[in-house]
């Protein structure tokens, strides 16, 4: 099976210079599979799948299948969280005006709504407001215009969420005018290299009254990769003295008071923020998302109920639906209109109000899809010209692209070419361009931008995604220096496909599929299991369907004689030729159950083949 490692060209990639080499790698680990299966009561194959994901002790495996929120990390482990909560509690008791300033993406919207809903349990709802930056007018995060607006409105205290860690100037303006500022964020903390020991760094924290961010260098919180909505939820737990045991009770429906009901609703909202912000689904992220998905099937939030109805999500909700159905509708509000519409949806109190907003957001999302597809076509057309250099870090300037779509286009370029991709477009400010980037595992995007910060007017983000702005005149030198500094190798740019096991078809059963399904929710850190087999051939005919002739169905037979129904989505004729040739083809596949007219049958979906 180890022979499956090979270089393979993606059939959908156009142009020799951009060809993506893909390496299939069978994961091999040493574990007492039989013993762990006996201790935990799960199939040995499931033990192997979990071992591939880093769970190798019986206690870890049992915990993986749990969803008890009392097992979450203690919110008090977050640096400054008690200090920040005490400050806000005092302001709420005094009836001071508090403004929550979030961000225009799903994480920022969900975090803002969590703070507003839970602050309102302690203070007058009318004294607590949300403001979200306008993507075009303000750009990302807290800025001086928002501070001046808050001062005009008589706001006493600013609480940020999903932003603020890099807002040094805006925080200083607020403090100079007598405001209290509490930062809650989850992004990388700005730093400078220390003059002392080589390689050491000094944090550049804003001068706020409290700065809560698990990525602080002096923070001891165990799971650094939580989203802004999760930080907001934990902040409110401390504010309202609502520990993890109470959180679990609220989620389980064993308490029926306003605080428990609101926390139950906020668990759903925080789970949505976690998935859509592409956090690693391990540890407490997995716990929260698993519980949140279960609650969303009978959601306490009118806005989420409206979106699931309008998108016809009648079946059990999965992380996929959060990422690719619900999330994009909320994101569309901040991309093409005002993110406050997304916030109003999640804050809606009646089904009628929620449905009206959901319809509007769904319409915006359809418009977003068209703009995104046009942008991708333009970008690929430019990159695949003969005279365009095949840089290891893609930097592309699309002046007419809608600014809010840049990150989406960058994400698609990253997937297509398997390279860090930064898409830049014109901004409203004369001579200034803005960009958004998405990156591969081998390249830390925030660190890459930090290496050229002398060229940047503003930047922020984390390893996988970041935003930035710079003067238009510096575009070319920006591209050159990013690539000169990147140190990416050919090996780094090869797409690595990890194979969980070489599983023959005869091992697949309904019982096994049900056990595999317990590994959900799938996402970063917990991908859907992928299996591989060598020399698989087709028995009988390969049926080809679809207007684009892009669906193939057939019966596949492995080397041990196991047979199963298979489907492949892609160039169907090429697949037919591969599985009909002498010696068959090597395949990667996912195993599942197909339901047709009420009848169930075992089926594999062929993801790739050689």
CA distances from 228 to 111, 211, 267, 329, 332 (A): 6, 13, 13, 19, 19
Q: Do residues 215 and 189 touch, judged by C-beta distance below 8 A?
A: yes
CA distance 116 to 233: 11
Could you say which DSSP state residue 310 is in? H
Domains of the chain: 70-186+206-345 (3.90.1640.30), 369-493 (3.10.310.30), 498-609 (2.40.50.460)
Dump pLDDT digits (tens) for 336-351.
889 999 999 999 999 9
Q: How far apart are CA 329 and CA 360, in angstroms?
A: 9
Using a cut of 0.85, tell me whether the model's pTM lies above it: yes
By percentage, how much of the chain surpasses pLDDT 90? 79
Residue 9's pLDDT is: 33
Asked whether the beta carbons of 72 and 229 are under 8 A apart, the reply is no
Closest to 364 (Cα-Cα) out of 343, 399, 400, 338: 338
Displacement of CA 235 from its chain's centroid (Å): 21
19 pLDDT more than 80: no
- List Cβ neighbours of 11 (8 Å cut-off, separation of 6 or more): 570, 571, 574
Mean pLDDT, the chain, as a whole number? 92
CA dihedral (59, 219, 72, 307) in degrees, to 10, reads: -130
What pLDDT, on the 0 to 100 scale, is given for residue 6? 36
Asked if 241 and 195 touch (Cβ cutoff 8 Å), the reply is no
Is residue 411 within 8 A of residue 507, CB to CB? The reply is no
How far, in Å, CA of 488 to CA of 128, rounded? 48
**28-50 tens-digit pLDDT:** 999 999 999 999 999 999 999 99
- What average pLDDT does this structure show over 357-379? 95
Confidence of residue 2 (pLDDT cuts 50, 70, 90): very low
The 3-state secondary structure of 120-131 reads: CCCCCHHHEEEE
Residues in the chain: 610
Report residue 21's pLDDT band, with 50, 70 and 90 as the boundaries: confident
Residue closest to 552 by CA, chosen among 530, 536, 574, 531: 574
Task: Tell me the percentage of the chain whose pLDDT exceeds 70.
Answer: 96
Note every long-range contact of 581-584, with CB atoms under 8 Å and residues 24 or more positions apart, other chains counting.
583/535, 583/537, 584/535, 584/536, 584/537, 584/538
Strand partners, 588: 532, 608
Separation of alpha carbons 464 and 475, rounded Å: 21
The pLDDT assigned to 197 comes to 61
The 10s digit of each residue's pLDDT in 454-470 is 999 989 888 889 999 99
Q: Give tens-digit pLDDT for 270-325.
A: 999 999 999 999 999 999 999 999 999 999 999 999 999 999 997 789 999 999 99
Provide the Cα torsion 372, 404, 104, 408; round to 10°.
40
User: What pLDDT is attached to residue 196?
Assistant: 59
**What pLDDT score does 598 carry?**
77
For the record, the structure tokens of 507 come out as 């091992």
Distance CA 228, CA 186 (A): 5
Q: What are the tens digits of pLDDT across the range 399-443?
A: 999 988 999 999 999 999 999 999 999 988 899 999 999 999 999
Q: What is the pLDDT of residues 203-245, one digit of tens each?
A: 999 999 999 999 999 999 999 999 999 999 999 999 999 999 9
């Amino acid at each position: 099976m180890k022979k499956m490692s090979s270089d393979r060209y993606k059939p959908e990639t156009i142009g020799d210079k951009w060809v993506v080499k893909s390496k299939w790698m069978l994961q091999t680990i040493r574990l007492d599979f039989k013993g762990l299966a006996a201790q935990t009561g799960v199939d040995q194959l499931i033990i192997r799948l979990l071992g591939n994901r880093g769970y190798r002790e019986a206690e870890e495996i049992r915990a993986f299948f749990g969803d008890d929120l009392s097992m979450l990390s203690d919110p008090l482990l977050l640096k400054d969280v008690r200090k920040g909560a005490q400050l806000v509690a005092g302001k709420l008791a005094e009836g001071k005006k508090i403004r929550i300033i979030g961000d225009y993406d799903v994480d920022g919207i969900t975090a803002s709504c969590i703070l507003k809903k839970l602050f309102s349990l302690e203070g007058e709802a009318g004294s607590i407001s949300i403001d979200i930056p306008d993507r075009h007018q303000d750009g990302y995060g807290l800025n001086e215009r928002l501070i001046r607006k808050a001062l005009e409105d008589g706001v006493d205290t600013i609480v940020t969420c999903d932003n603020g860690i890099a807002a040094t100037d805006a925080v200083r303006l607020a403090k100079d005018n007598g405001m209290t500022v509490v930062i809650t964020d989850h992004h990388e903390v700005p730093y400078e290299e220390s003059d002392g020991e080589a390689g050491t760094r000094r944090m550049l924290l804003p001068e706020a009254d409290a700065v809560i961010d698990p990525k602080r260098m002096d923070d001891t919180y165990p799971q650094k990769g939580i989203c802004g909505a999760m930080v907001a939820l934990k902040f409110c737990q401390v504010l309202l003295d609502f520990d993890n045991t109470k959180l679990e009770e609220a989620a389980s429906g064993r308490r029926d008071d306003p605080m428990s009901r609101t926390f139950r609703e906020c668990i759903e909202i925080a789970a949505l923020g976690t998935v859509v912000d592409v956090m690693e689904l391990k540890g407490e992220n997995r716990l929260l998302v698993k519980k949140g998905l279960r609650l969303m099937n009978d959601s306490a939030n009118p806005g989420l109920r409206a979106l699931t109805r309008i998108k016809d999500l009648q079946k059990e909700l999965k992380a996929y639906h959060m990422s690719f159905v619900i999330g994009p509708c909320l994101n569309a509000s901040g991309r093409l209109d005002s993110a406050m519409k997304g916030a109003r949806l999640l804050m809606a109190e009646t089904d009628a109000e929620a449905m009206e907003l959901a319809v509007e957001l769904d319409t915006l999302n359809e418009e977003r899809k068209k703009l995104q597809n046009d942008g991708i076509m333009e970008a690929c057309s430019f990159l695949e010209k003969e005279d365009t250099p095949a840089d290891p870090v893609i930097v592309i300037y699309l002046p007419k692209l809608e600014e809010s779509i840049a990150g989406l286009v960058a994400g698609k370029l990253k997937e297509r070419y398997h390279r860090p991709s930064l898409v830049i477009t014109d901004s409203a400010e004369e001579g200034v361009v803005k960009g958004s980037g998405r990156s591969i595992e081998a390249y830390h995007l925030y660190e890459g931008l930090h290496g050229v910060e002398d060229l940047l007017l503003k930047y922020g983000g984390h390893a996988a995604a970041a935003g930035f702005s710079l003067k238009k005149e510096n575009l070319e030198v920006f591209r050159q220096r990013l690539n000169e500094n990147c140190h990416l190798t050919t090996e780094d740019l090869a797409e690595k496909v990890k194979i969980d096991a070489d599983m023959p078809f005869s091992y697949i059963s309904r019982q096994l599929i049900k056990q595999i399904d317990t590994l959900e929710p799938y996402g970063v850190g917990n991908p859907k299991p992928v299996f591989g087999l060598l020399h698989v051939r087709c028995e009988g005919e390969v049926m080809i369907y679809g207007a684009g002739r892009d669906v193939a169905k057939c019966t596949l037979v492995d080397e041990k004689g196991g047979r199963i129904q298979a489907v492949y989505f892609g160039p169907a004729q090429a697949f037919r030729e591969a599985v009909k040739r002498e010696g068959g083809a090597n395949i990667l596949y996912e195993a599942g159950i197909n339901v047709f007219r009420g009848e169930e049958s075992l089926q594999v979906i062929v993801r790739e083949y050689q």
